Amino acid sequence: MYKATKLLALGVALIMCIGLFAGCESSQEKQLKEDYLAYMQSQGDTEMTLDDVKILNNYGAYNGALVVRIERGAFEVVTTIQVGGVDFTFSNSNTALVWKNGQFFELADAYDRGLLTKSNLDVLAKKINK
């Protein structure tokens, strides 16, 4: 009986821990969402709220910049862009963004500004073009 009670208590504790952390987001993700909301509001989208900011894909960090896809108005047409001689194909017109120091850049702009290298683009293409 003691062993069964101990296992039950351990199971309940585990479920509570999973429930506690399942809905949590990292401080980096929270900051990214807040920065994106501020960016969109500065562009005139005063209706958007923090709950509207949805990160679709996180492709990782490169040189201190995070490459992500965020839900934004998109045409449902396969979209291919070329940056630095590397092709990137997306399922719709919602292409990846680069976030660094609170600012957002399109992939081409980030590459042109030196935030991403050719090597970074090659690695990203393997992740994006799966």
Digit-coded pLDDT (tens) for 6-57 = 544 444 444 444 343 344 569 999 999 999 999 999 999 989 999 999 999 9
- Rounded CA-CA distance 24/6 in Å is 28
- Residue 2's pLDDT is what? 56
- Residue 73's pLDDT is what? 81
Domain spans in the chain, listed from the N-terminal domain onward: 54-128
Q: What DSSP element (H or E) covers 122?
A: helix 118-128
- Residue 13's pLDDT is what? 44
pLDDT band at 3 (very low <50, low <70, confident <90, very high): low
- Rounded CA-CA distance 86/32 in Å is 26
Q: Which residue, among 90, 82, 109, has the nearest Cα to 98 in the 3D structure?
A: 109
- Residue 49's pLDDT is what? 93
Torsion of CA 23, 106, 123, 61, to 10 degrees: -40
pLDDT in tens, 58-110: 999 999 999 999 998 888 999 999 999 999 999 999 999 999 999 999 999 99
